[in-house]
Amino acid sequence: MNFLDEINRRRTFGIVSHPDAGKTTLTEKLLLFGGAIQEAGAVKNNKIKKGATSDFMEIERQRGISVATSVLAFEYKNNKINILDTPGHKDFAEDTFRTLTAVDSVIVVIDVAKGVEEQTEKLVEVCRMRNIPMIVFINKLDREGKDAFDLLDEIEQKLNLTVTPLSYPIGMGYDFKGIYNVWEKNVNLFTGDPRKDIEDTIEISDLNSSELDDLIGENSADTLREELELVQGVYPEFDEKAYQAGTLQPVFFGSALNNFGVRELLDCFIKIAPSPRPKESDTREVDPKEKDFTGFVFKIHANMDPKHRDRLAFIKIVSGKFERNTPYLHVRNKKKLKFSSPNAFFAERKEIVDISYPGDIVGLHDTGNFKIGDTLTEGEELNYRGIPSFSPEHFRYINNADPMKSKQLEKGIDQLMDEGVAQLFRLELNNRKVIGTVGALQYEVIQYRLEHEYGAKCTYEPLNVHKACWVEAEDEKNEEFQDFKRVKAKFLAKDKRGQLVFFADSSFSLQMTQQKYPSITFHFTSEF
């Protein structure tokens, strides 16, 4: 297979949603169809303690939530599919935002009973800003929930999307009989037997035929005909170009837990979803079809295997071929590096790969060379943009609880911060370490991982900070900047990259500081 064919058969997408909408379950069922796993770990069923395939950190198994983005790949109908399953919990939103820089399209999962929730709104907003093509999957149809039209309205209004249903439910909750597949013109009957991998599909080209009445009963058939007529009248016809441009979003209905409606979603997805797309760098737009390799680090994960102190940098390949044992330029360090065992992923199973293509995600063993956002190329000096650190919302001092283990604590904090789990700041005044996070749950994760992966213990002390802002001065030698540094000395810190950060203790003091020092710009993300 030649280079262009390899690119065209790749689909790299992320699955996003509010916690508990069924994202991880959907990921598993997609893997089942791809033949990548033989049986799904019932995510909620603690009796089995199998745990979902994509949740491989101990703390995730205990909590039943995903706290790190996992990367999974499988083959389906001659397509190579790369899934990035992201955390839904808002405390880990930053990991999700960064992951969205590495995907070419997205599936948004919505719970039929809860409808559009707060976290979904935030994530869809990020996708819309970047014009990422989105497919909406409305999940848990076997439970009582909102009416299909109400849900479609809510998606349009709250998420500001233009939707078109490509499948439609026949009844809902207790009356749920199946799905009419608008895309393939067939009916899929629901038996409620999750052991059946694929439900029976009955081809129905003419909705007015009596065959439909025999299948689902006269009343249900009449309701379906009326509702589908309404759908055709109200919603635009599906247009692949509009979907790929991010202006039209197809909607599918199903129940991931019962493995229902997932095949329809996957079959349509591989036909319409974009293959790897061009990406902006700081110098030019890079096309996947270019022969020279480029890629960027969007995630770092320490201790994927607690028995070996290994650290993996996840690289999204943007253009060219990535080959094993070939030297590539690490643009930030201006050093050539080569990799003897690049990994491709399948949850806990990793395989060494010789060649990877645009769209693929490769894990590189890292001894501390990489930071999130680093670019690797075949020699060209360019950097991919759009992987910022966001201003944290929670701040605490971190203290060593075991003086005998200060080296381990130092190393642990250093590696976890490189992963982007949280941000480390050192106060200019007394060099005390402050950890800033997007959500409070991350402090527990850090404490847990420091103890279990590095053998170090820490305690926290609260710190009253409203916002952390990165500081940029027009001229660092001018009097105004020197005055700012003198007056605000106890509120200044350096981040891990040595950039100056101002800790404002209230929105009022931030406003006053901005007014008093007009030549200084205060940024809420680290990439400016």
Q: Please give the pLDDT value at position 341.
A: 85
Q: Please give the pLDDT value at position 36.
A: 54
* Beta strands, E only, 21-132: 70-76, 79-85, 105-111
More confidently predicted of 66 and 308:
308
Q: What is the mean pLDDT of residues 409-416?
A: 86
Instruction: Say yes or no to pLDDT of 133 above 90.
Output: yes
- Is residue 180 within 8 A of residue 224, CB to CB? The reply is yes
Q: Confidence class of residue 473 from pLDDT cuts 50, 70 and 90?
A: confident
Q: Please give the pLDDT value at position 461.
A: 92
Q: Confidence class of residue 194 from pLDDT cuts 50, 70 and 90?
A: low
Q: Which range, of 70-79, 371-380, 443-452, 509-518, averages the lowest pLDDT?
A: 70-79
Q: Please give the pLDDT value at position 395.
A: 92
Q: Which range, of 295-299, 304-308, 321-325, 520-524, averages the lowest pLDDT?
A: 304-308
Backbone φ/ψ region at 151: left (φ over 0), alpha (ψ -120 to 50), beta: alpha
Q: Please give the pLDDT value at position 134.
A: 92
Instruction: Say yes or no to pLDDT of 65 above 50.
Output: no
* Rounded distance between C-alpha atoms, residue 396 and residue 403, angstroms: 19
Instruction: Say yes or no to pLDDT of 54 above 70.
Output: no
- If you write DSSP's letter for every residue of 213-234 in order, what string do you get? HHHH-HHHHHHHHHHHHHHHHH
Compute CA distances 286 → 293, 323, 365, 371, 384, whole Å: 10, 19, 25, 21, 9
Amino acid making up residue 400: N
Q: Please give the pLDDT value at position 91.
A: 47
Closest CA to 81 of 133, 9, 4, 29: 9
Classified as helix, coil or strand, 513 is helix
- Is residue 265 within 8 A of residue 11, CB to CB? The reply is no
Q: In the chain, what are the domains?
A: 3-272 (3.40.50.300), 279-377 (2.40.30.10), 394-523 (3.30.70.3280)
Mean pLDDT for the chain overall: 80
Amino acid making up residue 315: I
Q: Confidence class of residue 387 from pLDDT cuts 50, 70 and 90?
A: low
Q: Confidence class of residue 397 from pLDDT cuts 50, 70 and 90?
A: very high
More confidently predicted of 446 and 52:
446
Q: Confidence class of residue 53 from pLDDT cuts 50, 70 and 90?
A: very low
Instruction: Say yes or no to pLDDT of 517 above 80.
Output: yes
Q: Please give the pLDDT value at position 135.
A: 93
Q: What is the pLDDT of residues 257-292, one digit of tens each?
A: 888 888 888 888 989 999 998 888 888 888 999 999
* Rounded distance between C-alpha atoms, residue 291 and residue 244, angstroms: 24
Q: Which residues does 38 contact at the CB level (< 8 Å), separation at least 6?
A: none
Q: What is the largest CA-CA distance in the chain?
A: 85
Q: What is the pLDDT of residues 139-192, one digit of tens each?
A: 888 888 888 888 899 989 988 889 998 888 887 777 777 888 888 777 777 765
Q: Please give the pLDDT value at position 22.
A: 78
* Rounded distance between C-alpha atoms, residue 127 and residue 134, angstroms: 8
Beta bridge partners of 424: 435
Q: What is the mean pLDDT of residues 347-364?
A: 80
194 CB neighbour count, 10 Å cutoff: 15
Q: What is the mean pLDDT of residues 41-54?
A: 40
Instruction: Say yes or no to pLDDT of 396 above 90.
Output: yes
Instruction: Say yes or no to pLDDT of 226 above 70.
Output: yes
Q: Confidence class of residue 68 from pLDDT cuts 50, 70 and 90?
A: very low
More confidently predicted of 112 and 32:
112
Tell how strand 520-523 and strand 467-473 pair up.
Answer: antiparallel
pLDDT-above-90 percentage for the chain = 13
- Tokens 């759908």, residue? 231
Instruction: Say yes or no to pLDDT of 61 above 80.
Output: no
- Look up residue 6 and give its two tokens: 């390899």
More confidently predicted of 391 and 397:
397
